[in-house]
Amino acid sequence: MRPFSRRAFIRAAGAVAGSAVIGACAPARMRRPPAAGSLPIRDDNLPIDAGARMERDATLRIFQWRDYLAGDVLDGFARRHAASNVQVEVESFTSMAEAVELLRRPDARFDVFFPTIDALPRLVAEGLLLPLTHELLPNLKNVWSYFGNPDGPFYDVGQRYSVPYTVYSTGIGWRRDLVRNADSPGYLANPYDAYWNERYRGKVGIYDDYREAIAMALLRRGEDPNTGVKPVVGRAVDDLLSLSDGVKVEVSAEGAYHELQTGEYAFQQSWSGDLLSAKRFGAAAADDAGLVAYTWPRGGIVGCDLTAICARGRNPVLAHAFLDHLMDVGVAMRNFRWNGYQPPVGDDPPTVSGYLTEAILHPDDLTEGRFLRPLGPDADARWRVGWQRFLEAVAR
């Protein structure tokens, strides 16, 4: 089987996580009125005491996306806490809906979980995540200031329930041997115009992801990539239809991992981490010869993955220790070398060689970039209808 993009896997699996799949629940009784934009803390689900002692002879149960954590990182945690006789057990899930259903079960005793941004509010409302005790997370100081600002991050103000695991950008992957210098994204007044160049008909790919694709077309027009305004979204969809007609664009989940690497595509919409991890997990990579390049248009899409603690876990102190372990700069960089997705920790972002340097984000990029935020029901339906029109055009 061809390798499957980790980000595509998560995006596809969690696409409906914030809507009907997780479902409605009764309003939570709040411990205190939350600060503006923050997630509530309930009287029946309070943070653990900062002085709580770590569990001994315990097994930390981690519920993760498939192939999400390096084995060395897991083993290193067990070694670090060998004096407490700590074991680590990992179970994987393939969709957020599946994961939430299992977390709801009274006998679900996972300790650590990896939610998506869109699923986070409902998980909190259902009491499935434990509020974090920051005193037990000394390595939180290593995380980029974007996440620690008093009014941020937007999805979990004050980091009450989550800490960032990785960050990434959405940009343009392209082949230096197949693209003329004058046509490369860095030479264009609008880098996104590279996709619409009919010279590369049949050699252009974008992700099978309605949010990423329509957002790219909106950014090309200088529009808000989270808009729900009907005519604005409609014009972006029309641009995608012209992309189908003009260059016979292809839609897939694996273009950055496979077709771009083999030279079937000259341009491919790419998550930064996919191009970095393609060296390890993708097709026999042309990047070994320095032929794959990456351009992130300034102010383009950025995103992050999250780590959280399960409310029903048996080992909340140990779970805090594991989150802290992942925010250790050395540990985080070892994990990065394995999965290709960058941790937002430390003052010195990792370096990469060749033409993939723009795949590395810097702290200010998160402020300058644009996160894809959850859409309201009407706006989301509008985006999905437009995306279906585009897919039908591609299939013709």
**Torsion angle of alpha carbons 314, 316, 322, 323, nearest 10°?**
130
Q: How confident is the model at residue 66 (pLDDT cuts 50, 70, 90)?
A: confident
Q: Mean pLDDT across the stretch 79-85?
A: 94
User: What is the H or E stretch that residue 252 is in?
Assistant: strand 250-252
Q: Which of 202, 169, 168, 208 is nearest to 4 (CA)?
A: 208
Alpha helices in 145-258 (DSSP H): 145-148, 210-220, 230-247
Is pLDDT of 16 > 60?
no
* The domain defined by 6-166+303-349 carries CATH number 1.10.3720.10: no
Q: What was the pLDDT predicted at 25? A: 39
User: What is the tens place of the pLDDT at every residue in 130-181?
Assistant: 999 999 999 999 999 999 988 889 999 999 999 999 999 999 999 999 999 9
Q: What was the pLDDT predicted at 19? A: 42
Q: What was the pLDDT predicted at 6? A: 55
User: What is the tens place of the pLDDT at every residue in 327-348?
Assistant: 999 999 999 999 889 999 999 9
CATH 3.40.190.10 domain extents, the chain: 6-166+303-349, 168-302+370-395
Is pLDDT of 8 > 80?
no
User: What is the tens place of the pLDDT at every residue in 211-260?
Assistant: 999 999 999 999 999 999 999 999 999 999 999 999 999 999 889 989 99
Q: Which amino acid is at 116?
A: T
Percent of the chain with pLDDT over 70: 88
Distance CA 247, CA 202 (A): 6
- Identify whether the C-beta of residue 92 lies closer than 8 Å to the C-beta of residue 68: yes
Tell me which of 173 and 277 has the higher pLDDT: 173
* The domain defined by 168-302+370-395 carries CATH number 3.30.1380.10: no
Q: What is the mean pLDDT of the chain?
A: 89
Burial of 9 (0-12, 13-18, 19+ CB in 10 A): middle
Alpha helices in the chain (DSSP H): 6-13, 71-80, 96-104, 120-125, 145-148, 210-220, 230-247, 259-262, 272-281, 316-326, 329-339, 363-368, 377-395
Is pLDDT of 283 > 70?
no
Q: Which of 326, 213, 223 is nearest to 269 (CA)?
A: 213
- Give helix then strand counts, H and E, for the chain: 13, 10
Is pLDDT of 184 > 50?
yes
Q: What was the pLDDT predicted at 7? A: 57
